[in-house]
Amino acid sequence: MNQKITDLIFSATGKDTAIVTLGTAINVILGGLFFIIVPRVLGPGDYGLFSTVVATGILATSVANLGIDTGILRFIKKDSNRSDKYLSIALKSYIFLGIVIALLGFLISPLISQFLKQEQITNLLRIAFASTIILLLTNLYTAALQAKHEFTKASVVSIASNLLRLVILAICALFLNVGLILITALFFTVPIISVILGSFFLPIKLTKTDKTNVIDFHKYNLWIALSLIVTSIPFDNYLLLKLSGPAQAGIYAAPYKILTFVYQFSSNFTRVLASRFSSFDTNAKAKEFALKSSAFLFLFTIGLVLLILIASPLVNAIFGQDFQGSAVVFKWLTAGFIFFFASTIPTSIILYYLGKSQVTFFISTVKIIIFVMLLFILIGAYQAVGAAMAFTLAEIFSFLTSLLYVLYKLR
C-alpha cells in the first residue's frame, strides 16, 4: 500500500497534481483574503448586492464561454501541431462572444435590477457584463497552458489577478473611500493582468481554419456549454435577494464565496485528470486511474470535515459579529462542497473517457430543478440557512447520479 502511494506521488500525475495544488492553494489564499476583507468593508447588505453582481458576471461569462475551455482540454495536446488551429478557433470565438454579451448586458442590466427590486445595481451589472471578455480570455490562457501541461505557468496566470486585487485594494483603503462601486470595478477589471501574462506565456497565432474543425470543436462543447449555463444561474443569490433582502443574501454569500476555493481545486484537478482519461482505451485503465486519483479526493474531504468542526469560531474570526448567522450556513455549504468535489472523478470519466457530455447536461439540469424547488420551499422558512440546505441536497443528488452512471458503464 505504501509503495502504491509513493508511486502515485512521484508519477507524472502526482507531480502535476502537486503543482496544481500548490498553485491553487496560493490562489485560494490570495482570493480568500480579498473576500474576507470585502464583507468587513461593505457589511452584509452591500456585500449581498456585490455578491449578486459577481454571480451575474460569472453567469455572463459561462453563457459566453460555450464550453470552449473544456474543448481546449480535449482537443489541444502537449505536442500536437493541430493545437494552433483549435486555439485560433477558441480565441476568435471568445472575442466575438465577449463583445456580444457585453452589448446585450448593457441593455438588460436595468431589467435585471428591476426584477430583483434593487435598481441601484444597474451600473454595477453593466461593469460585470462589460468585463466578460477579460474573464473569457483569462479562461482561455489558463486552460490552454494546462492542456499543454504547463501547469506552473497556468498557476501564475491565475495568481496574478488575485495578488493585484489585494495590492490595489490595500492602496485604495489608504487613500480613498472604498465602497461598492470601487470594489466592483476592481474585481472585474484587474484580471486584464492575467490576459497579458497569458499572451506572453502562450502567444496564439490567428490561423485559417476550415469549417470541419470549427464544427467538431463546437459540437463537443455544446452540451458542456448548456451545463455551464444551467449551473451558473445564481438562483440562490437572486431568490434570497428578492425574497429575504440584501442582508440575508450577504449572510449566505460570505461563507459561500470563501468556500469557492473548492471550485478552484476541483476545476484544476479536473484539468489534470482530463488529459489522462481522454487517452485511455479500456475500462480497466480508467478504473485503475480513478482508484489512484481517489487518494487526493480522500485527503481533501478530510480537510473539509475539519472545517465543519471549527465552523463557528472560524466564521466569527473571519467576518466578525455582523455575520454571526453565517456559521450554520457555512456548515451546510461545506457539507455540500464535499459532495461537489467528490463528483470530480465520475464527472471527468463521463466527459473525457466516455465522451458523454450530454449526460452531464442531463444530470446538471435535473440537479438545478431540484435545487430551485428546494430554494422556494426552504428559503421561506429558514432564509440563508435554507438556501445552504438546498445547495447540499442538490449536490448529493448530483454526486450519486454521476457515480451510479459511471459504475454502470464501467462494470
Encode pLDDT of 242-261 as tens digits: 888 888 988 998 888 888 87
With cell 474543448, the residue in question is 71
Q: Which string of DSSP letters, residue by residue, matches 91-139? A: HHHHHHHHHHHHHHHHHHHHHHHHHTT-GGGHHHHHHHHHTHHHHHHHH
| pLDDT average, residue stretch 68-95 | 72
CA distance 149 to 381: 48
* Cβ atoms of 95 and 133 closer than 8 Å: yes
Please tell me the predicted confidence (pLDDT) of residue 99.
92
3-class secondary structure per residue, 18-77: HHHHHHHHHHHHHHHHHHHHHHHHHHHHHHHHHHHHHHHHHHHHHHHHCCHHHHHHHHCC
CA distance 154 to 20: 9
Bigger pLDDT: 211 vs 156:
156
User: 78: pLDDT confidence band, cut at 50, 70 and 90?
Assistant: low
Q: Which amino acid is at 204?
A: I
Closest CA to 20 of 199, 266, 353: 266
Q: Which amino acid is at 394?
A: A
User: 53: pLDDT confidence band, cut at 50, 70 and 90?
Assistant: very high
H/E stretch holding 177: none
- Crossing angle of helices 132-147 and 192-201, in 10° steps, is 30
Q: How many Å from the N-terminal Cα to the C-terminal Cα in the chain? A: 24
CA distance 342 to 252: 23
Encode pLDDT of 140-166 as tens digits: 888 788 777 777 888 888 889 889 998
C-alpha cell at 206: 490567428
C-alpha cell at 97: 462572444
Report domain extents, the chain: 2-409
Bigger pLDDT: 302 vs 79:
302
pLDDT at 7 > cutoff 60: no
pLDDT at 309 > cutoff 50: yes
| pLDDT average, residue stretch 334-347 | 91
